[in-house]
Structure 1
Amino acid sequence: MTSTSAEKAARLLREHGRTYAEEAGITLRDAPSPLYQLLVMTVLCSIRIRANTAIDAARELFTAGLRTPTAMAESTWQQRVDLLGRAHYVRYDESTSTALGEGAKLVLDRFDGDLRNLREEAGGDQDRLIELLQEVPRIGPVGAGIFCREAQAVWHDLRPFFDERSRTAAADLGLPHTARGLSHLVPPEDLARFAAALVRASLSHDKHAD
C-alpha cells in the first residue's frame, strides 16, 4: 500500500463514502426487514437506469410501507406500478412490479421471509451465495454483486467484496483493482462505503482522487 493510494482512498470516503442503502433510507442491520429492503433496492438497480432513479423508487416503496416480503406480496401489481411511476421509474415499471411481486413470494416460500436463511444455506461459500441471490427475479451477476457489495457492512464473512464495477473504477483511478489490494486501503468497517465511493466516483466521472 502506498501513501498515495491511501490518500486517494481517504479522499474517496470523504467525498463519496455513502452506501446506496443509506441513500435509500435503509438502516442496514443483520435483520429480516432491512436485508429485504436491500434486496428490493438491488432489484431496482439491476437494470440500465440511473442510480438516483432506482434509489428514489426504493424510497417510494418503503415510504408506502413495502418494507417486508409479506407487505410487498400483499400489495397489488398496480399499486407497485404507481409507486414506481412517482419516482419516474418508467419503461421498466410494469416488469419491475411483476419482478418485485414474484421476488417477495420467493423470499417467503424459499427462505421463510428471512434472507439470513439464504446466507445460512450458502454456508460461507461466496459463490453459492451469489447463485442463490440470482434465483430472485431480475437479479443477475451484476445485481448479486451490488447486494454483496452493500451487505458486507453487516455480513462480515463477505469482506472484502468489490464487484466488477467497483474494481474497474479503482483501476481507472490508479488504485489496486483486486479485492485483497483494495481491502488494505481502509479499515474493515469502511469497506462497503469504500466500494460505494468507487462506484459513485465512476458514475460522476469524478477525478479529484487523482
Structure 2
Amino acid sequence: MSDVATVLKTAGQTYAEQAGIKLRDQPRPLWQLLVLANLLSARINSDVAVAAARELFAAGGDTPKGMARLSWQDRVDALGRGHYVRYDESTSSRLGECAELILGEYGGDMRKVAEEAGRDPKRLRQALQRFKGIGETGADIFCREAQEVWPWLRPYFDKRALSGAGRVHLPRDPGKLARLTKPDDLAHLAAALVRISRDTKLAHKADT
C-alpha cells in the first residue's frame, strides 16, 4: 500500500490552489471554484483549464458581477489567452449564464446554494447541475475541492479519485481513505488521487 504522506507530497496541490484561488467559505472564492469546475469539466487538459481560469479572473471575472459585466467577446478573449480555444465560444456563453443565475437567485453567494440544498452532498450535487456547463463531472470537481472549507462534504472522493487510489494501492472506499489522513487534508488527497489517475508517471512516483 502506498504511503498517503508520499501521495500528498507528490501530487497534493488542489486545483484551486493551482488556479491561484485562496479558498475560503466566502462568496468570491466559491464563485471562482465554480468557474474552475466549469472549465475543468470539458475534455481538455487540466493545465489549460487552470490557465484559462486565471485569465478570466485577471480580466475581472473573479466575482459573479465581474463575470456578468464582461462582454461575451471579453470572455472569449480571456479563454483564448489561456489557450482554451476548443470550447471558448460556448464556454463564454455558459459562464455568462452562470453569473446571471447566481446573481438572480442567490445574490451572488454560493453558500446560499449549499443552504438551499440543506448542506446535503447529494442535493448539492443536483443543485450545482442547474448551472450551465456543470454536469455530474463538474459537480464532483466542485465538491472534491469545496470539502476543504465545507467540512459537511467530507469525505468526498468521486469515481475519478477512487480510481487513482486503486493505482497506488490505497483503499477504494471513501471512509477507509479518510481515516488515513487528517480531515483538513482530504481535499488535497482527493486532488492528488485525481492527478494520479491521469498520469502513469506520477502514479509510479507516488507508489515508490
Q: Normalization by structure 1: what TM-score?
A: 0.95
> Secondary structure of 2:61's match?
coil
Mapped contact 2:14–2:145 kept (Cα < 8 A): yes
4+ runs deviating over 2 angstroms: none
Task: Give a deviation string over 1:84-125, Cα, whole Å, max 9, x none.
Answer: 001110120000000000010011112111000001011122
Answering whether residue 11 of structure 2 is matched by residue 16 of structure 1, we say yes
Number of residue pairs the alignment of both structures matches: 205
> Secondary structure of 2:205's match?
coil
Amino acid in the other structure paired with 2:115: E
Answering whether residue 35 of structure 2 is matched by residue 45 of structure 1, we say no
Corresponding residue number in structure 1 for 2:139: 144
Answering whether residue 202 of structure 2 is matched by residue 208 of structure 1, we say no
Alpha-carbon separation, structure 2, partners of 1:164 and 1:101:
29
How far apart are 1:166 and its partner, in Å? 0.3
Answering whether residue 112 of structure 2 is matched by residue 112 of structure 1, we say no
Corresponding residue number in structure 1 for 2:70: 75
Task: Give a deviation string over 1:162-210, Cα, whole Å, max 9, x none.
Answer: 1111011111221111211110111000000000011112222121232
Answering whether residue 46 of structure 2 is matched by residue 54 of structure 1, we say no
> Secondary structure of 1:14's match?
helix
> Secondary structure of 1:181's match?
helix
Corresponding residue number in structure 1 for 2:186: 191
> Secondary structure of 2:54's match?
helix
Identify unmatched segments of 5+ residues in structure 1: none
Alpha-carbon separation, structure 2, partners of 1:34 and 1:155:
13
> Secondary structure of 2:206's match?
coil
Q: Normalization by structure 2: what TM-score?
A: 0.96
User: CA RMSD, aligned part only?
Assistant: 0.9
Corresponding residue number in structure 2 for 1:103: 98
Matches within 5 A, 1:130-169: 130-169=125-164
Corresponding residue number in structure 2 for 1:179: 174
> Secondary structure of 1:64's match?
helix
How far apart are 1:15 and its partner, in Å? 1.0
Mapped contact 2:10–2:206 kept (Cα < 8 A): no
> Secondary structure of 2:102's match?
helix
> Secondary structure of 2:25's match?
coil
Amino acid in the other structure paired with 2:142: F
